[in-house]
Amino acid sequence: MSPKEQKPDASPPRWLDKLVERFCAPHLVEEVMGDLHERYHLRVRRFGQAKARKQYWREVLAYARPHIFKRRPSPYPKPIFTDMLRNYFKIAFRNLLSKKFYSAINILGLSIGMTCCMLIFLYVNHELSYDKFHSKADRIYRLVTDIKTPTETIKISITSAPMGAYLKKDFPEVEEVARMYHRSVLLQRDEHQYQEDQTLFADASFFDVFDFLVLRGNVRTALVDPFSVVITEDAAKKYFGEENPIGQSLRMEGSFDLTVTAVVRNVPSNSQVEFDFLISMSTLLEKLDPDRKEEWGNFGFYTFLLLPELTNPEALEDKFPAFMERHISGMREDEMYYSLFLEPLRRVYLYTGRGGPVTGSLSNIYFFSIIAAFILLIACINFMNLATARAAERAKEVGIRKVNGALKRQLTIQFLSESILLSLFAFVLASIFTELLLPAFNELSGKIIDESIFYEHNYLLLLFLLALGVGILAGIYPAFVLSGFQPVSVLKGRFSTSSRGLVLRKALVVVQFAISIMLIAGTVTVYTQLNYMRSQELGFTKEQMLVINFRRDDKVMRQMEAIKNSLKSHPRVLSAAASSSTPGQSNSGAFTNIENPDGEMQASNIHLYSVDFDFLEQYQIEVVAGRSFSRDFPTDSTQAMIINEAAAASYGYASPEEAVGKRFSQWGREGQIIGVIKDFHIRSLQQQIQPLTIRIATNDFKLISLHIEAKDIPSTLAALERQWSALVPHRPFDYFFLDEAFDQQYRNETRFGKLFICFGGLAIFIACLGLLGLISYTVVQRMKEIGIRKVLGASESSIIRLLTKDFLKLVIIAFLIATPIAWYVLREWLADFAYRIEIGAGVFLLAGLGALLIALATVSWQSIRAALANPVDSLKDE
Amino acid sequence: MRRSDLGEFEEIVLLTVAVLTPEAYSVAIAEELEQETGKNVSTGAVHASLQRLENKGLLSSHMGEATRERGGRRKRIFSLTLAGSRMLHEVRDLRNRLWDRIAPQTLPQINMV
């Protein structure tokens, strides 16, 4: 077999050979390449060149095995990975020490930035962790209802008692159903008597669905018998101290005893289901209110379904209409249609639009994540700016290193290791700051974030990687710029900062200040909106209104007139009124038929206040048409209703007067509308004023409002409390001030504003740190120039102008960029409020001016110092 | 060295080395196996097996002469060590013992045409 002459293009693909030579361990290259080529030529001869080439890459790929890549251990040490790296860090450390001012600015800026990031990360993590701790969380679904009336569809998060019960009976694919019913109850043991707001009636299956750690007692049976109660650790301590609570009893509402059957660990802060006490559902549905068991229209229950694995919830949902048809077709009340849906538990907290016991805000998460990223970015920009500004200083060093044989890559690694070292310092500081600030942050954000998360490896690793990432991000540009210097030009002394670097630096400063201006504008807007909502005319008197909550206590309701009169007898109480709700508090919604302008009865679900004869007067709610309730008309307490303007409008009446005298039927009462009141805000200004009906009903009271004199409120309170406990010994004196309670509705917005102000302030602070570094550097660089200018007769003010002008220009550009973006974002934010301020130019001018002043203040200190310096000092040597 | 350490492909490669000695090197082995099995056998796979077998002490190798097809590169020529040959014998004995113990008529008859 004589080998044929090979044409040059008969050789296998060149790039594949290169690949093999690059990756194959050197001691194997010869045999591997030889094998490949020999085989290739065999194949060329056998199948022709085209096919051989095609097969060649497969042959090459077959060598992609660890033993091919693995290099033989070298007999010589490799100093690049040990000594040089150590040397880089040593040099970096020395550099940091020798430039204390810059290092301090950088480390401070970075560590503040990282602290913000860590805190926000903790917050976001907490928000995302809701309900994760239930081991079956991904199989739990919340049953929710849409109520369709002729006029609207109301989406609610609650269900009625039979819905859950019959679902379990009718659908074998439903593994478990747990219903919950929230009620505030009065509990008592010996001298301990408290109104417990966090009390749930819960099905015996509660613990099969949810995971709450049981400390004592048997959960299987804990919630089976009527009058059983499961309590949390804290509740046990509160009522029983160190005693064993199991088997002991708690008196509920002063009328019957509950037996403690189990103690559970306190509910974690990231749980949607919150409780201190769990009373067996049988207590409610067998003993207290047995009718409710079959009342399909009586809502108030949260129902959770546990489905087996791999069940498609939509397939189950599809069967719900038939299910409802089967059970309530005959008893459907008027024109209300109920349809049921399922919501995955893990989505309820953040994504549901229906509300719930606790819900989070997805937009807040986005907002704060973005702010965290911004703040970190600002800190990184500081580093980049200062590092490139100092390039001239390091240029000689780079030159010498290169002359001595340093490669560009090695220098890049050296500069990167400097920035990484810096960011690791900052990381350590930031961890300490975060740990220290966490309690304050919890206070501010209203969350309970456990600090134990600090000791989780994953979390720390993640943050460490973040720090590393920040170091690389901040250092990569300067590292490339610095390592790219040509030694010849640098060492000749012909070095000057490139204009490209200058432009970039300016651009970065602009970005920093644009972000700062946006944050200032945001803060101003949030606060203006909050103030606007607080100062807005609400349509009723809210000052000096003391409201006593007796929680629908029957005994109190029966003696209402006597109690009111007794309280009124106190000289500082101006008037008293009883009602089912007050503005800012939750109220019932009632299914109501009202005659519309066409003379037909039209149905809708409408807010309802039950009041007494004194309520409207005490709250100074204005009647715009017809008349107010009056004791002179005996029928007022049985056949009369007052509606607000919004209700009149929603039924199609052009003016309030037209609505007067129209017929209504509501909750078993029929009669006529006797008057229309001016709209007042029963909810926060985030919401439009909704239709409201008001009627006299002495059996539906929950609150007593007292209008008291402003002076010496503590002593009035003390006197009233004494009086109350004499009148109603079995009820604690549970009160609030209406204005404070109303403001509570803005709690979230207030928090948002405070967080905004903190983070905005920090962002500006970090930006100023950077600016300070830059100006001081510029001053040092231009020291001689300033000296010469002064010698030639320049005035101090002209020098200050010279130095500050450039920076102020940047702030103005930043303002121009920031304004439209901020305007857009803020408009979106304000869109959530039904009653809102207009965003005027004022906000942005204020923000821009603020940023300008802050920048000016930062820059002027250094520039004034430079302008005042004696030129002799800067010019004498050389 | 336990028998279980010898994979099926390794065993076949080991045998092929024995067959081809003294001219056993990866390309020859791969070609031989392709002919015998009718399947594609890459030199990469063979190379990996050979190296494993050499690490186990079943093969030894030396560099052979260079040829034109190899672009002037030398080839690595393999031969069985004592351990390798004992291993082959053990494997064969085990198989034979098992074959001998199969009762007649147990295996479904296959028409070998």
A617/A695 Cα distance (integer angstroms): 14
pLDDT digits (tens, 9 = 90+) for A119-162: 888 888 888 888 888 999 999 999 999 888 777 788 888 999 99
Best residue of B10, B23, B25, B26 to probe chain A, by most A CBs closer than 10 Å: B26
Q: What is the pLDDT of residue B50?
A: 92
pLDDT greater than 70 at residue A497: no
Q: What is the mean pLDDT of residues A837-854?
A: 87
A202/A183 Cα distance (integer angstroms): 11
pLDDT greater than 70 at residue A79: no
Task: Specify which residues A692 forms β-bridges with.
Answer: A607
A866/A779 Cα distance (integer angstroms): 7
Contacts of B28 in chain A (CB under 8 A): none
Three-state secondary structure of A79-97: HHHCHHHHHHHHHHHHHHH
Give the side-chain half-sphere CA count within 13 A for B37.
14
Contacts of B43 in chain A (CB under 8 A): 35-36, 39, 59, 62-63
Share of residues in chain A with pLDDT > 70 (%): 95
Share of residues in chain A with pLDDT > 90 (%): 26
The verdict on a CB contact (< 8 Å) between B47 and A39 is no
CA angle A432, A438, A441 (to 5 degrees): 135
* Helix (H) or strand (E) run with residue A531 in it: helix A499-535
pLDDT greater than 90 at residue B29: yes
Angle, helices A100-128 vs A362-389, to 10°: value is 160
Contacts of B52 in chain A (CB under 8 A): 67
Q: Is A200 exposed, middle or buried (0-12, 13-18, 19+ CB in 10 A)?
A: buried
Q: Is B34 on the interface with A (CB under 8 A)?
A: no
The verdict on a CB contact (< 8 Å) between B42 and A33 is no
Q: Is B61 on the interface with A (CB under 8 A)?
A: no
Q: CB of A777 within 8 A of CB of A390?
A: yes
pLDDT greater than 90 at residue A391: no
Helix ranges restricted to H, A390-407:
391-403
Q: What is the pLDDT of residue A612?
A: 92
Q: Is B94 on the interface with A (CB under 8 A)?
A: no
The phi-psi region of residue A544 (left if phi > 0; otherwise alpha if psi is between -120 and 50; otherwise beta) is left
The verdict on a CB contact (< 8 Å) between A63 and B70 is no
Q: What is the pLDDT of residue A142?
A: 93
Contacts of A64 in chain B (CB under 8 A): 44
The CA distances from residue A24 to A45, A73, A757, B41, B44, in Å, are 27, 14, 58, 20, 12
| Complex-level ipTM | 0.86
* One-character DSSP codes across A679-737: P--SS-TTS----EEEEE-TTS--EEEEEE-STTHHHHHHHHHHHHHHH-TTS---EEE
A415/A390 Cα distance (integer angstroms): 13
Best residue of A14, A16, A36 to probe chain B, by most B CBs closer than 10 Å: A36
Q: What is the mean pLDDT of residues A800-828?
A: 89
The residue that leads in pLDDT, B76 or A873, is B76
Q: CB of B51 within 8 A of CB of A69?
A: no
Q: Is A67 on the interface with B (CB under 8 A)?
A: yes
Place of tokens 């076949």: B12
Partner residue opposite A34 with nearest CB, options B45, B51, B73: B73
pLDDT digits (tens, 9 = 90+) for A459-470: 778 888 888 888
Contacts of A60 in chain B (CB under 8 A): 44
pLDDT greater than 90 at residue A490: no
- Of B55, B99, B101, residue with least CA distance to B78: B55
Q: Is B48 on the interface with A (CB under 8 A)?
A: yes
pLDDT digits (tens, 9 = 90+) for A615-648: 999 999 999 999 999 999 988 988 999 999 999 9
The verdict on a CB contact (< 8 Å) between A37 and B48 is no
Q: What is the pLDDT of residue A3?
A: 43
Q: What is the DSSP letter of B24?
A: -
pLDDT greater than 80 at residue A257: yes
Q: Is B11 on the interface with A (CB under 8 A)?
A: no
Confidence of residue A482 (pLDDT cuts 50, 70, 90): confident
Confidence of residue A77 (pLDDT cuts 50, 70, 90): low
To the nearest whole Å, the CA of A22 is away from the closest chain B CA by 16
Closest A-chain CA to B76:
A31
Q: What Rg do the C-alpha atoms of chain B give, in angstroms?
A: 17
State residue A172 phi and psi, 5-degree precision: -65, -25
Q: What is the mean pLDDT of residues A427-432?
A: 90
Q: What is the pLDDT of residue A193?
A: 85
Q: Is A27 on the interface with B (CB under 8 A)?
A: no
The CA distances from residue A623 to A59, A539, A660, A679, in Å, are 93, 11, 11, 9
Q: CB of A603 within 8 A of CB of A592?
A: yes
Contacts of A41 in chain B (CB under 8 A): 69
Q: Is B23 on the interface with A (CB under 8 A)?
A: no
Average pLDDT, chain B: 85
What tokens were used for A183? 């009620």
pLDDT digits (tens, 9 = 90+) for A9-41: 567 888 888 888 888 888 888 888 888 888 888
Confidence of residue A6 (pLDDT cuts 50, 70, 90): very low
A589/A602 Cα distance (integer angstroms): 16
The verdict on a CB contact (< 8 Å) between B47 and A32 is yes
Contacts of B74 in chain A (CB under 8 A): 30-31, 34
- Of A729, A666, A663, residue with least CA distance to A692: A666
Closest B-chain CA to A42:
B69
Q: What is the DSSP letter of A543?
A: T
CA angle A149, A152, A158 (to 5 degrees): 75
Q: Indicate the range of A328-337, A388-397, A824-833, B67-76 predicted with least confidence.
A: A328-337
Closest B-chain CA to A41:
B69
pLDDT greater than 90 at residue A325: no
Q: What is the pLDDT of residue A453?
A: 67
- Of A165, A739, A761, A103, residue with least CA distance to A383: A103
Q: What is the pLDDT of residue A499?
A: 57
Helix (H, G, I), strand (E, B) or coil at A778: helix
The CA distances from residue A271 to A208, A268, A319, A359, A450, in Å, are 16, 6, 30, 10, 13
CA A687 to the chain's CA centroid: 21
pLDDT digits (tens, 9 = 90+) for A689-735: 889 999 998 888 999 999 999 888 899 999 999 999 898 888 888 89
Q: What is the DSSP letter of A620?
A: T
pLDDT greater than 70 at residue A332: no
The verdict on a CB contact (< 8 Å) between A34 and B74 is yes
The CA distances from residue A573 to A570, A719, A801, A828, in Å, are 6, 11, 66, 45
Q: What is the pLDDT of residue A785?
A: 86
The verdict on a CB contact (< 8 Å) between B70 and A59 is no
Q: Is B60 on the interface with A (CB under 8 A)?
A: no
What tokens were used for A826? 């803020």
Q: What is the DSSP letter of A224?
A: T
Q: Is B39 on the interface with A (CB under 8 A)?
A: no
Query: In sequence order, what are the residues at sequence separation of 6 or more whose Cβ sits closer than 8 angstroms to the Cβ of residue B5?
Result: B56
The verdict on a CB contact (< 8 Å) between B73 and A63 is no
Q: What is the pLDDT of residue A2?
A: 41
Confidence of residue A297 (pLDDT cuts 50, 70, 90): confident
Q: Is A7 on the interface with B (CB under 8 A)?
A: no
Q: CB of A692 within 8 A of CB of A606?
A: yes
Q: What is the mean pLDDT of residues A861-878?
A: 81
Partner residue opposite B69 with nearest CB, options A41, A61, A62: A41
Q: What is the mean pLDDT of residues A578-594?
A: 88
A512/A382 Cα distance (integer angstroms): 9
To the nearest whole Å, the CA of B61 is away from the closest chain A CA by 12
Confidence of residue A448 (pLDDT cuts 50, 70, 90): confident
A400/A68 Cα distance (integer angstroms): 40
The verdict on a CB contact (< 8 Å) between A59 and B44 is yes
What residue type is A404 in one-letter code? N
pLDDT digits (tens, 9 = 90+) for A155-199: 888 999 999 999 999 999 899 999 999 988 889 888 888 889 899
The residue that leads in pLDDT, A167 or A219, is A167
Long-range contacts of B26-31 (CB under 8 A, 24+ apart): B26/A31, B26/A35, B26/B50, B26/B75, B26/B76, B27/A35, B27/A38, B27/A39, B27/A42, B27/B75, B30/A39, B31/A39, B31/A42
Q: Is A824 exposed, middle or buried (0-12, 13-18, 19+ CB in 10 A)?
A: exposed
Range with the largest mean pLDDT of A218-232, A438-452, A469-483: A218-232
The verdict on a CB contact (< 8 Å) between A38 and B45 is no
Q: What is the pLDDT of residue A421?
A: 87
Confidence of residue A872 (pLDDT cuts 50, 70, 90): confident
Judge if pTM exceeds 0.80. Answer: no
Contacts of B44 in chain A (CB under 8 A): 59-65, 68
Confidence of residue A61 (pLDDT cuts 50, 70, 90): confident
Q: Indicate the range of A209-218, A310-319, A357-366 predicted with least confidence.
A: A357-366
Q: What is the pLDDT of residue A705?
A: 93
Average pLDDT, chain A: 86
Q: What is the torsion angle, in degrees rounded to the nearest 10, for the CA atoms of residue A703, residue A709, residue A714 and residue A717? A: -30
Contacts of B42 in chain A (CB under 8 A): 58-59, 62
Q: What is the mean pLDDT of residues A302-311?
A: 91
Best residue of B68, B73, B78 to probe chain A, by most A CBs closer than 10 Å: B73
Partner residue opposite B71 with nearest CB, options A34, A39, A61: A34
Q: What is the torsion angle, in degrees rounded to the nearest 10, for the CA atoms of residue A106, residue A107, residue A113 and residue A115? A: -170
- Of A693, A625, A629, A692, residue with least CA distance to A659: A625
Q: Is A19 on the interface with B (CB under 8 A)?
A: no
Q: Indicate the range of A354-363, A449-458, A733-742 predicted with least confidence.
A: A449-458
The verdict on a CB contact (< 8 Å) between B48 and A38 is no
To the nearest whole Å, the CA of B70 is away from the closest chain A CA by 4
Share of residues in chain B with pLDDT > 70 (%): 92
